[in-house]
A and B are shown apart, each in its own frame.
Chain A
Amino acid sequence: MDKRNIFTILLFQLTTIVIGKHVPVIGWSNSRTRLLEKTPTIPAGHFVNSDFLQKNYLDRLVASTAPHNICVFVIDKLSIDDITKYSDAYNSDSTGNALANLRVALESSVSSIVLPSVDSSELGSYLSSKVNGQVIELSDPSSLKGKSLDATKTNVIIFQLTTSPDTNGRENEIREADKMIEVVMSELNSMSTPYTALLTAQQAPIKKKLTVNSKDSVKVSRHILESDIQDDKFFFANYTEAACKVFFYSESVIAETADGKVSLPQETWDTTGSNCTAESVLLVMSNNNGTNSYKFEMEIQLDKYKFWNVNKATFSMGTNGTQLKQAIDMTFVETPEQFSYHCVQSEAKSTGSGDLKIKKVIFNDLQMQPFKIENNQFSYPNDCIGFFSEGIWMGLVTGLIVILILAFGFGMLASLSVMDKFDDPKGKTITVAQSSE
């Protein structure tokens, strides 16, 4: 019991450290006494905790005898990655892109520091408590103008900046923050007392996990990449009768019309109107919720070789009772009786006549089984993708031919031998007369 409690406490602490506490601190100062130089070098990846920050950086600022203004910018969300990404940091001729003003401030300062990963939650309060002058907390950059600050004492000004969330991207949020910093800097520069500015954040932005949409990259790799967070919604239909069961599942079904792609509703569809026997199944799936109503009709037949196939399939789509039909070709699902058919991405093209103008119906992650369902589960799937794809076979055939030729040639070379028929180890050796030239 004790071990478990300790573990959960540690885990909680670890998560709080990891989530949101790794914020950068960027400082610059125009004080002649070079307050921010000669600070200890931080190895890359090193996390600076509050004590270290206070002892090595903040104490220098408050202990300095010359009075100056300390201005702390606390942005709601910032990380060192944002700064390097949006300020074009690795390009030596850049002008700083979204953080142009910050760049100018850092370059024109007398001394500056950049700490990538700091716990700065107590920075503001520590400075406020140690300093002997005024402590002002503002949230609007332009409100610094009117304030009068005592020039003989060290004052602390804390700006809590919140960037309005911009759906267009982080870059615009950073640009906005940069503008606010610029307003304050111009005001600070106009004052006679030197200043030190510290830029930090309340928390680091939560990073989005990299995912790959498996629907777009199916034909490329063999392994399954992590797909987008599923909503657990899928297209499903089942029909059960006394002697037979039919399952139809597809993660999503998309009908491609001339105008665009229509995504069919991902819920359990109604199968009234279906019927099945031991050798043939008529599966009717309809959905009348929502504005459009859709219907699939599939005739599945078991042939004499005990392979089933969808001989005829139609798709209807319409509104308000008028439905237009189109025949689609699903004969790729040919499978033996006891297996289900599974395919990660398949298309049923429209064939023959029909009033509904669709090009094809795309099934993502289709799995269907009309016969021999046991234990309410799909049986072993007959997958549309085999072990070796066409490309692999082509490579193997050509490669094997080439290797065979090489092996043959190598064998011939290896069987070369020296003519030693008339060699007599105990006989006279050949002597070649040396010509004196």
Chain B
Amino acid sequence: MSVARVAYVSSSIITAIVVGILLYYTLTDQLYRIDIGWFLTSLSPYMWANLGIASSISFSVIGAAWGIFTTGTSIVGGGVKTPRIKTKNLISIIFCEAVAIYGIIIAIVVSNQLEQYDTTSTDPEYLLKNYTAGYAMFGAGLTVGLSNLFCGICVGIVGSGAALADAQNPSLFVRVLIVEIFGSAIGLFGVIIGILQTTKFGFEAAS
């Protein structure tokens, strides 16, 4: 059961279900009930905010973990033959770990902005403010999480290459490290934008 086959089967089943539902609504003249506006305004902003926090920390950790295992296996494997590489190449591991730390910082910053608001209020301005805050937190978390995910993968593969190159020729290490620094900068970009997205918005407790 390869990934391709599973993807094919599951996507075709889901498409069939979606098309069937859409056809039912179209043929009974009830398409007005498929209301994306209702979907976006009814789902609690707490859900969006918490999904953002969750994605920020979890995707960053996935990226960091992926990077660390990629680099780690190379260091360990190369270190069997060339033990001198092991201490110097730990810096690649640290770059990967930094990605996870970015994720947790944003998660803490965003979760501090979570507050209870008056859900029964009917003031549109008040509700707008709180819904915006929910979406902003979701966006920030997703930004940080996804950029850290790919940053971690990138740094990991580069670090693995650095370890193996270092094992062959010690002078190569510093050159490859420059590539790694560029790779880790992209994680930092994600964090900066995430901070920009979320600092202006927050849940307002009382109307």
C-alpha gap A401/B47 in the complex (Å): 12
Within 8 A of A (CB), among B10-29: 28-29
Within 8 A of A (CB), among B21-73: 28-29, 32-33, 39, 42-44, 47, 51, 58
A415 contacts the other chain (CB 8 A): yes
B206 contacts the other chain (CB 8 A): no
A398 contacts the other chain (CB 8 A): yes
B178 contacts the other chain (CB 8 A): no
- If A390-B42, A393-B43, A394-B44 touch, does A336 touch B32 (CB 8 Å cutoff)? yes
Q: Are A397 and B3 in contact (CB under 8 A)?
A: no
Collect the chain A residues with CB atoms within 8 Å of residue B43's CB.
390, 393-394, 397
Collect the chain A residues with CB atoms within 8 Å of residue B6's CB.
411
Within 8 A of A (CB), among B117-155: 122
Collect the chain B residues with CB atoms within 8 Å of residue A382's CB.
33
Q: Are A393 and B42 in contact (CB under 8 A)?
A: yes
Q: Are A415 and B39 in contact (CB under 8 A)?
A: no
A92 to chain B, nearest CB (A): 47
A328 to chain B, nearest CB (A): 13
Collect the chain A residues with CB atoms within 8 Å of residue B32's CB.
307, 336
C-alpha gap A336/B6 in the complex (Å): 42
Q: Are B51 and A414 in contact (CB under 8 A)?
A: no
Collect the chain A residues with CB atoms within 8 Å of residue B28's CB.
380
A347 to chain B, nearest CB (A): 12
Pick the residue among B29, B51, B58, B122 that contacts A338 (CB under 8 A): B29
Collect the chain B residues with CB atoms within 8 Å of residue A405's CB.
58
- If A398-B51, A401-B51, A411-B6 touch, does A336 touch B29 (CB 8 Å cutoff)? yes
Within 8 A of B (CB), among A27-76: none
A290 contacts the other chain (CB 8 A): no
Collect the chain B residues with CB atoms within 8 Å of residue A386's CB.
33
Collect the chain B residues with CB atoms within 8 Å of residue A393's CB.
39, 42-43
Collect the chain B residues with CB atoms within 8 Å of residue A397's CB.
43, 47, 51
CB-nearest residue of chain B to A415: B3
C-alpha gap A36/B122 in the complex (Å): 73
C-alpha gap A376/B3 in the complex (Å): 57
Main secondary structure of the interface of B (DSSP, over half): helix
Collect the chain A residues with CB atoms within 8 Å of residue B47's CB.
394, 397-398
> What 1/0 mask marks residues of chain A from 385 to 429 whose CB sits below 8 Å from any chain B CB?
010001001100110010001000001001100000000000000
Collect the chain A residues with CB atoms within 8 Å of residue B42's CB.
390, 393
C-alpha gap A260/B33 in the complex (Å): 36
> What 1/0 mask marks residues of chain A from 331 to 362 whose CB sits below 8 Å from any chain B CB?
00000101000000000010000000000000
Collect the chain B residues with CB atoms within 8 Å of residue A349's CB.
122
C-alpha gap A405/B55 in the complex (Å): 11
C-alpha gap A380/B30 in the complex (Å): 10
Q: Are B3 and A390 in contact (CB under 8 A)?
A: no
CB-nearest residue of chain B to A394: B47
C-alpha gap A68/B108 in the complex (Å): 86
Collect the chain A residues with CB atoms within 8 Å of residue B122's CB.
349
Collect the chain B residues with CB atoms within 8 Å of residue A338's CB.
29
CB-nearest residue of chain A to B1: A414
CB-nearest residue of chain A to B4: A411
B64 to chain A, nearest CB (A): 15
A171 to chain B, nearest CB (A): 41
C-alpha gap A104/B6 in the complex (Å): 73
C-alpha gap A386/B3 in the complex (Å): 36
> What 1/0 mask marks residues of chain A from 71 to 99 whose CB sits below 8 Å from any chain B CB?
00000000000000000000000000000
> What 1/0 mask marks residues of chain A from 205 to 217 whose CB sits below 8 Å from any chain B CB?
0000000000000
C-alpha gap A338/B29 in the complex (Å): 10
CB-nearest residue of chain B to A402: B54
CB-nearest residue of chain B to A395: B47
B145 to chain A, nearest CB (A): 11
Collect the chain B residues with CB atoms within 8 Å of residue A380's CB.
28
C-alpha gap A424/B51 in the complex (Å): 50
Collect the chain A residues with CB atoms within 8 Å of residue B3's CB.
411, 414-415
Collect the chain A residues with CB atoms within 8 Å of residue B58's CB.
405
- If A401-B51, A411-B3, A411-B6 touch, does A390 touch B44 (CB 8 Å cutoff)? yes
A360 to chain B, nearest CB (A): 12
C-alpha gap A86/B167 in the complex (Å): 86
CB-nearest residue of chain A to B39: A393
A304 to chain B, nearest CB (A): 14
C-alpha gap A177/B47 in the complex (Å): 59
C-alpha gap A380/B3 in the complex (Å): 45
Collect the chain A residues with CB atoms within 8 Å of residue B29's CB.
336, 338
C-alpha gap A415/B3 in the complex (Å): 8
CB-nearest residue of chain B to A383: B33
C-alpha gap A401/B51 in the complex (Å): 9
B61 to chain A, nearest CB (A): 11
C-alpha gap A206/B1 in the complex (Å): 63
CB-nearest residue of chain A to B33: A386
Within 8 A of B (CB), among A125-181: none
B37 to chain A, nearest CB (A): 12
B134 to chain A, nearest CB (A): 12
A–B complex contacts, Cβ < 8 Å, 29 sampled: A307-B32, A336-B29, A336-B32, A338-B29, A349-B122, A380-B28, A382-B33, A386-B33, A390-B43, A390-B44, A393-B39, A393-B42, A393-B43, A394-B43, A394-B44, A394-B47, A397-B43, A397-B47, A397-B51, A398-B47, A398-B51, A401-B51, A405-B58, A411-B3, A411-B6, A414-B1, A414-B3, A415-B2, A415-B3
**What 7 pairs between A and B have smallest CB-CB spacing?**
A390-B42, A411-B3, A394-B47, A394-B43, A393-B43, A390-B43, A336-B32
**Given A349-B122, A401-B51; 17 other pairs, CB 8 A cutoff:** A336-B32, A338-B29, A382-B33, A386-B33, A390-B44, A393-B42, A393-B43, A394-B44, A397-B47, A398-B51, A405-B58, A411-B3, A411-B6, A414-B1, A414-B3, A415-B2, A415-B3
